[in-house]
């Protein structure tokens, strides 16, 4: 015989993230970490940070000791070795090892310290180079990776499996988000190591003010990329912490992509550069297309708010105000 028992009253169900939660944001000085800090603080959460100068997150013992000491309600893992196509292909050892070590320290340390909730940030480069477009989460591990960021992608895949393993073995409420290419205030504008969008802002601005007749960009201009403003990503992170408790990673994007050539035309326009653009095809294109299927995130209620052109203009204004200061 079965008896229908009434469920608990709605307000007694334990929320995935309580109001005023204490949250450690690893990587708080970076593009993503700083946006997540702003968003969590605006929602009334207590944000805990620790600089790399006093805690290197690659080191497991001090990281675990720190997490045991502060015992946060949740951890957002936004600390990582990050860079654009050239940095990834030049320094695969650091992209593999630093990321594996940070993930091992922080995720295992959080579990050892009894942290109940953790959000791990991966990247859309985890998917196969020839994945179907838009890329659903279940395309993971279905084909070979893009060679320019294989080491980084493999480290990120290990991070996903690590969060899934803590859930499967210990019932931990640990989740993973896979953001598309991000940009915004706090980005890295160093031309050797940055991603394409901040590089284009800087190249066009400097060409305009230096009177250069031409700007040379990398690759053929034909690869397609999807760009999400980091404030939209931060909103998605909060939404996932509040509402998502599943095994599978969740893609975070805006649902639209464009060619690098089209992106260059927009940035050229925003920066009011009048000269021409040429393409250095000796530089790598990377993956041909990387548009995420965001239906899983959309079903949780996510809608990006910042259109690309506005976001570029805001990021350009931010960089003009901050370019002389240390990031």
Ligand X SMILES: NC(=O)C1=CN([C@@H]2O[C@H](COP(=O)(O)OP(=O)(O)OC[C@H]3O[C@@H](n4cnc5c(N)ncnc54)[C@H](OP(=O)(O)O)[C@@H]3O)[C@@H](O)[C@H]2O)C=CC1
Torsion of CA 312, 317, 318, 322, to 10 degrees: 140
Task: Using alpha carbons, list the distances in angstroms from residue 93 to 100, 102, 151, 222.
Answer: 11, 14, 7, 28
Active site residue 152: yes
Q: Which residue is nearest to ligand F7E (CB)?
A: 84
Q: Are the CB atoms for 242 and 16 separated by under 8 Å? A: yes
- DSSP code string of 253-278: --S--EEHHHHHHHHHHHTT--SEEE
DSSP assigned state of 81? -
Catalytic annotation, pick one of 91, 127, 152, 273: 152
Residue 56 near ligand X by CB under 6 A: yes
Residue 195 near ligand X by CB under 6 A: yes
Residue 249 near ligand X by CB under 6 A: no
Instruction: Please compute, for residue 90, the number of CA atoms within 13 A of its CA located in the half-sphere on the CB side.
Output: 10
Residue 164 binding result from ligand X, ligand F7E, none, given CB thresholds of 5 to 8 Å by partner type: none
Residue 162 binding result from ligand X, ligand F7E, none, given CB thresholds of 5 to 8 Å by partner type: none
CA-closest candidate to residue 180, choices 220, 118, 139, 134: 134
Residue 57 binding result from ligand F7E, ligand X, none, given CB thresholds of 5 to 8 Å by partner type: ligand X
Torsions phi, psi of 208, nearest 5?
Answer: -60, -50
Residues that bind ligand F7E (CB under 6 A): 83-85, 88, 123, 125, 148-149, 152, 181, 194-196, 199, 217-219, 223, 225, 260, 283-286
Residue 309 near ligand X by CB under 6 A: no
Residue 131 near ligand X by CB under 6 A: no
CB of 24: closest distance to ligand X in angstroms?
Answer: 12
CB of 134: closest distance to ligand F7E in angstroms?
Answer: 16
Q: Which residue is nearest to ligand X (CB)?
A: 30
Distance (Å, rounded) from C-alpha 98 to C-alpha 324? 28
CA angle 37, 66, 245 (to 5 degrees): 55
List 16, 22, 29, 190, residue binding ligand X (CB under 6 A): 29
Instruction: Please compute, for residue 291, the number of CA atoms within 13 A of its CA located in the half-sphere on the CB side.
Output: 13
Residue 175 near ligand X by CB under 6 A: no
Residue 201 near ligand X by CB under 6 A: no
CB of 269: closest distance to ligand X in angstroms?
Answer: 22
3-state secondary structure of 204: helix
CB of 223: closest distance to ligand F7E in angstroms?
Answer: 4
Under the rule (CB under 6 A), what is the footprint of ligand X? 27, 29-33, 52, 56-58, 78-82, 102, 121, 123, 179, 181-182, 188, 195
Question: Which residues are annotated as catalytic?
Answer: 152
């Amino acid at each position: 015989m079965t008896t229908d028992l009434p469920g608990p009253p709605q307000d007694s169900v334990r929320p995935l993230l309580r109001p005023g939660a204490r949250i450690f944001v690893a990587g708080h000085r970076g593009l993503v970490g700083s946006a997540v800090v702003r968003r969590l603080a605006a929602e009334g959460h207590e944000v805990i940070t620790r600089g790399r100068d006093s805690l290197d997150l690659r080191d497991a013992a001090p990281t675990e000791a720190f997490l045991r000491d502060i015992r946060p309600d949740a951890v957002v893992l936004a600390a990582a070795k990050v860079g654009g196509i050239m940095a990834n292909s030049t320094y695969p050892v650091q992209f593999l090892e630093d990321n594996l070590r940070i993930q091992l320290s922080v995720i295992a340390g959080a579990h050892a310290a009894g942290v109940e909730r953790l959000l791990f940030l991966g990247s859309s480069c985890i998917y196969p180079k020839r994945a179907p477009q838009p890329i659903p989460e279940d395309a993971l591990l279905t084909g070979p990776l893009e060679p320019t960021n294989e080491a980084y992608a493999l480290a990120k895949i290990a991070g996903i499996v690590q969060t899934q393993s803590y859930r499967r073995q210990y019932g931990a409420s640990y989740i993973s988000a896979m953001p598309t290419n991000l940009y915004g205030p706090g980005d890295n504008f160093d031309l050797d190591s940055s991603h394409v969008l901040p590089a284009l802002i800087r190249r066009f601005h400097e060409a305009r003010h230096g009177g250069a007749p031409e700007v040379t960009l990398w690759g053929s201009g034909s690869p397609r990329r999807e760009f999400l403003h980091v404030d939209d990503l931060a909103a998605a992170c909060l939404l996932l912490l509040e509402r998502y408790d599943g095994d599978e990673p969740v893609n975070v994007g805006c649902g639209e992509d464009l060619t690098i050539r089209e992106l260059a035309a927009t940035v050229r326009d925003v920066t009011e550069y009048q000269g021409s653009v040429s393409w250095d095809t000796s530089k790598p294109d990377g993956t041909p297309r990387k548009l995420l299927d965001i239906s899983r995130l959309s079903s949780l209620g996510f809608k990006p708010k910042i259109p690309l052109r506005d976001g570029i203009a805001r990021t350009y204004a931010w960089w003009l105000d901050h370019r002389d200061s240390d990031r």
